[in-house]
Structure formats: structure tokens, C-alpha cells
Amino acid sequence: MTRIRFDGSEEKPLSQPLDCDPPENSIRVTPCRACVKRRSPGLAAREAGGLVRGVTVQSLIIDCDPGVDDAVALFLAFAAPELELLAVTTVGGNVPAHLTQRNARIIRQIAGREDVPVHRGAERPLKRPPAGAGAFHGAEGLGDLEPFEPAGIIGDGPSANAIVDLVMSRPQGSVAVAVIGPMTNLALAMRRERRLAEWLGPVVVMGGARAEGGNITASAEFNIWADPEAAAVVFGSGCQVIVLGLDATHQVRADEDRIAAIEAVDSEAARTAAALLRFSQRVEREVVGGEASPLHDPCTIAWLMRPDLFQTRPCRIEVETNSDLTRGHTAVEFRVDPATARHHWAVAADGQGVFDLIVETLRNAA
Ligand code: BDR
Ligand code: CA
């Protein structure tokens, strides 16, 4: 049986073995299809006909650097039946790579989604020294959460290889990638496999600054600033990129009422997400001087689930790599032919709608 993807093209079903009945608490490297289906709302929905709330299930890789807002994005994606999460690939960014992969495995364990592989990725940007944003995420990246060594193992091979293998083994255009950290892994993957850009589905990026100005410098946003050369590779590759930059994510703010609504959902995932958001809110008050912290990374997942919550404009985006002063600035040119534009810049977001989506998705998974 064939199914119809977002872009209207046909897609063949997955083929995986049906052969395992693991003992309680065991974690297999490659879980069997029955185990995966039990834990994966996306795959179960996909096999039930591929339609959830009227949209086709989207296969997805999340490339991240957890980070408190990355963690909330992971909780949302782990709980979403609209998404078939193929892998989480990690990269050094907010904290070093050995911590981002551990943090992703911690979040996976809390969400009960050990069926999703987590890969370790690039330790440093293509040409720059590693950055860090511990002031916004806590020294180990997960705010106040007491770190622990998670039970689930690290996936085979580095993040860049996992991206290439997963995308190239699936039908063209069928796998989306949400990039919510520095874009090093995807740039490395594109260097490794020249056909990757044309094989990818939508690349949904949290990054970039235009009307709002920057958050790490006057003109740059952290993820793009951290590895501008990697961002330039991705934006110049010809793949379709949807960008949720600060112009949009600053419209999605975690105030007390919104955090409390998440906290009221009866699951460990929701309570942990709320605690992470409270940490961010405190940082916002103490470091930035604002009241409600922007919810950056979950906007990419929300866009995949509910693009109607965002207003985007076709454009061409180029990244500043030469100037020290404006390193990582995203130059967004709207004077393009909409029919051929490969980049889309989010200019507005429905903040309450994004939080309602998070609450509803976590509640349905609880
Ligand atoms: C981005 O930078 C990181 O600190 C956050 O996780 C987010 O991806 C916001 O500028
Ligand atoms: Ca991030």
C-alpha cells in the first residue's frame, strides 16, 4: 500500500523485522517493529493509515544540542503522533558534545522512547572554536535537572553519518530534519554525500536574526553565530529551508500561566518540561531583564505539526562568514521569485497556539 506525503508524492511503507520479544527493561540496539510500534505514536499512526488529525505522518530527524529548549522540543516530538522520529542526532553547542548526547538520552529515557536512536555528533564547528551557552542552559545543559547517566545506549556512528544513511535510504523528499543547534552535523553530512541536499525533505531550522536583532551579538543569533560556515553550506545547498529565527521565536514566550498549564499534565515528561521552562524564565529575569523567556527550539517541531501557527515569507538567506563584527548574521532577501525560492523566513508566530499544541500533545501522550 502507498501513502501520500506532505508534498503530495507517494511513499512506500517501511520494512523492519517482526522478530523480537525482549525481556522487561532490556534496551535493544535495533528494536523490533512490534516494540517500536508500542512506543512510537508516529509509527503506529502511520501504519494505521498514515493520517493523524488530517495530516500525513512526517518522518523526522532532530539535530540538537540540549539545552533546555532543545529538551522541550524533544518532549514535544517524542509525544507527537504526527511525527515518526527516526533519530536524534546531537552536536556540541549549548554545552560540549559529550553532554548534549547524554542530555538527549536523559530526555529520551524520561519520555520512555528508547526506540529512537540518539547519536553523538561534531565536537566543534567547521572552522571556529567551540561555543557555549551555559549561562542560559545551566553548566550541564539541563537547567536545574540533576544529571544522571541514562540507561539507553548511544547510536552507532556519528550524527552526520546517521543523517546521510537515514535520509538516503528513504524515498526522496520524505525525511524532514529539524536543526535546533549549530548546523555542523548537517553541513558535514552534505559534504559526505553530495546528493543529500536534493534528497532531503524540508529542513526546519531554529536560527537567525533579522528584525529582532541578535541574541549573542547585536546582529547574530547563537546557533548561526556558533558555526556560520556550516550554516552557509546548508543555506547554499539548494535544499528547502524553513527558518524560525528570533523574529518568530520571540513571539512565543513561556509565561507563568503557560508553564503552569504544561505542569498540570500528569506525566514525568510534562513536569520535567515545565521545570526546564521555569529555569529559563528565571534566567530571563536575572540575565536578560525580561519576564517570560522565548521558546525557541520547539517552534520547529510545532511548525512541522501545525504550520498554520506561523506566517512565513519566501526569501533567499545568506550568512555572514567574513566580518568579525557581524559574524553569523542572516541576510534575508525577500525580493525573490516565490515560485523558485528555497528559503522561507518566519515573520510571525501564534505564541498561545504553540503552547496549546504542546499541552494537548503531552496530555494525549500521558
Ligand atoms: C538557540 O540557541 C540555543 O541556546 C538554544 O537552544 C536555541 O537553539 C536560540 O538562539
Ligand atoms: Ca538548541
* Nearest bound ligand to the CA of residue 295: 1
CA of 93 to the centre of ligand 1 (A): 9
pLDDT reading at 5 higher than 70: no
In terms of phi and psi (left: phi > 0; alpha: psi -120 to 50; beta: otherwise), the region of 103 is: alpha
**What pLDDT, on the 0 to 100 scale, is given for residue 16?**
32
Q: What lines the ligand 1 site, CB under 6 Å?
A: 67, 69-70, 94, 133, 136, 180-181, 206, 215, 221-223, 296-297
Strand 253-254 relative to strand 293-294, pairing? antiparallel
User: Which DSSP helix (H) or strand (E) runs through 154?
Assistant: none
**What pLDDT, on the 0 to 100 scale, is given for residue 19?**
32
CA of 66 to the centre of ligand 2 (A): 6
Contacts of 90 (CB under 8 A, 6+ apart): 63, 64, 65, 66, 97, 100, 101, 103, 104, 118, 119, 120, 121, 159, 181
Residue 346: count other Cβ atoms within 10 Å of its Cβ.
27
Report the candidate in 32, 145, 228, 273 with the shortest Cα–Cα distance to residue 219: 228
Contacts of 276 (CB under 8 A, 6+ apart): 68, 69, 71, 72, 142, 143, 145
Share of the chain above pLDDT 90, in %: 82
pLDDT tens-digit series, residues 101-118: 999 999 999 999 999 999
Contacts of 324 (CB under 8 A, 6+ apart): none
Three-state DSSP class for 296?
coil
pLDDT reading at 189 higher than 90: yes
CATH topology of domain 15-365: Inosine-uridine Nucleoside N-ribohydrolase; Chain A (3.90.245)
Q: What is the mean pLDDT of the chain?
A: 89
Q: Closest Cα to atom 10, ligand 1: which residue? A: 222
**What pLDDT, on the 0 to 100 scale, is given for residue 17?**
30
Report the candidate in 288, 298, 279, 277 with the shortest Cα–Cα distance to residue 206: 298
Q: Which residues of 272-294 are buried (b: 16+ CB within 10 A; e: fewer)?
A: bbbbbbbbbbebbeeeeeeebbb
Three-state DSSP class for 89?
strand
pLDDT tens-digit series, residues 134-169: 889 999 999 999 999 999 999 999 999 999 999 999
Contacts of 121 (CB under 8 A, 6+ apart): 63, 89, 90, 91, 92, 97, 100, 101, 158, 159, 160, 184, 185
**What pLDDT, on the 0 to 100 scale, is given for residue 12?**
36
User: Among the listed ranges 80-84, 277-281, 282-286, which one has the minimum average pLDDT value?
Assistant: 282-286
| CA 305 to mean position of chain CA atoms | 12
What is the C-alpha to C-alpha distance for residues 271 and 157, in angstroms, rounded to an integer?
Answer: 32
Q: Which residues of 183-209 are buried (b: 16+ CB within 10 A; e: fewer)?
A: bbbbbbbbeebeebbebbbbbbbbbbb
Q: Which residues pair with 51 in a beta bridge?
A: 56
pLDDT tens-digit series, residues 31-89: 444 544 555 555 555 555 555 555 579 999 999 999 999 999 999 999 999 999 999 99
Report the candidate in 358, 345, 158, 150 with the shortest Cα–Cα distance to residue 274: 358
Q: Fill in the DSSP letter of residue 88.
A: E
The domain ranges of the chain are: 15-365
**What pLDDT, on the 0 to 100 scale, is given for residue 288?**
87
Which residues have a catalytic role annotated?
Answer: 296
Report the candidate in 180, 148, 201 with the shortest Cα–Cα distance to residue 73: 180
**What pLDDT, on the 0 to 100 scale, is given for residue 268?**
97
**What pLDDT, on the 0 to 100 scale, is given for residue 291?**
86
C-alpha cell at 172: 526522496
Q: Which residue has the higher pLDDT, 64 or 8?
A: 64
pLDDT reading at 128 higher than 90: yes
Give the distance between the most distant pair of CA atoms in the chain.
59
CA of 240 to the centre of ligand 1 (A): 21
**What pLDDT, on the 0 to 100 scale, is given for residue 166?**
98
User: Which DSSP helix (H) or strand (E) runs through 210?
Assistant: none
What is the C-alpha to C-alpha distance for residues 121 and 142, in angstroms, rounded to an integer?
Answer: 18
| CA 90 to mean position of chain CA atoms | 10
pLDDT tens-digit series, residues 331-340: 999 999 999 9
Tell which one of 64, 65, 185 to mutate to probe ligand 1, the residue whose CB is within 8 A of the most ligand atoms. 65
